[in-house]
Structure 1
Amino acid sequence: MAKGGKKKGPPYLDDPGCKYVVIIDPWGMDSTKNRTSEDVDRLGSWVSFMLREQSENSEVLLEVVYMRGTQNEVILQLSENVDLGPLLGEHRWREFLKSKPTNSSCTASYLLEYNYTVNGKPDNHNWADHYPELKPFFPAFKADITYPRAHYVNATRFGHLKSLVLPLPKERERTPTPPPTDVSIDSFSFWFCDVDLLTY
């Protein structure tokens, strides 16, 4: 218990001074047991490419990459001024890569906001911090394009991460397709009758 009888969390209501994002199936990273600093640097290059437009007006940075044990997911610590809106969702690799990777069965990565209120700082929960080296963009990227906005993804599909991530904002939810209009036979009959009257 903290001084004064109040626990620090959860809920964690302090301002961490940064923003956190969880990546599921992160592009550029080997299987969990074989990941090295090169994987972290490759991921860092992709994230820098992703943030390129935002960095034109103010410096937006990837600060830390967190990994834990054999988990597929990684957590990014980004500078506080980043706009997470266009980043959250499904990132389809074919939209930002020149060609499909031949060494992976995945076709997309998924970015969701980290639930800081429930979890607090990642390094308090055995997430190890790694610091990517800033390197030029990989030749595999479509460097001449504006980075594509992420597609909608329903966070509930990642049930094992329900306490780690937040759902996409309400404004990003898909609008349900309205059901087809039910036109009765009587309506059609009446319409055809009108046409017959006009014809004669």
Structure 2
Amino acid sequence: MMPPMPARRRLLLVDDDPMLLALLSTVLQHAGYDTLQAASAEEALPIARQEDPDLALLDVNLPGMSGLDLAARLTAETAVPFMFLSVQDAMETVKKATAHGAVGYLVKPIDAVQVAPAVEAALARADDIRRLRRSEANLTAALAAGRETSMAVGMLMTRFKTDRDTAFEVLREYARARRCKINEISTRLLDAEEFLNSLHQAFRQHGQR
């Protein structure tokens, strides 16, 4: 059985020059990409939100909202990575692109031969950033789960006058028997302990009346 073909990656092209949009779209479609087009930032934003393209190519000098402002909106409101198109001097473009979180840039006038390699490099950079963020999120979640489990183990040690290894083993077996993750059981234990402490405080206050 033949493996499924990988999905074509979608690119959002944003430029007020219809001839350049047509050129970019043609070149990139021939390179194996699907393209979406917008002539302004105002037109591009809802497309980015709805279609969630893999990469947006933004002209810096758009009418109305600039490409730099659009980049800021994409960063704040979506997860769409972007690269810039600019007629400015290359070094100045690199600095602006980097400052705004771009994953690449192309300097106008556009050289059709350079378009696909630049987009491929930008997509690779965007994928690296996406993987890094995912790893950081997973690490944060793992550390949080570890803290909860450690606190629950400490609570069991105090309540049942046992050592750390025994408390952890009992907690793990209890979770396994109920087909739960150990941090889920730990969270329930900590919530229950907090609830009991609150009730204990309420009883103390009641007795002081």
Larger strand percent: 1
Q: Relative contact order (alpha carbons < 8 A, sep ≥ 6): 1 or 2 greater?
A: 1
- TM normalised by structure 2 equals 0.28
Normalized per residue, the structure richer in helix is: 2
- Normalising by structure 1, what TM-score? 0.29
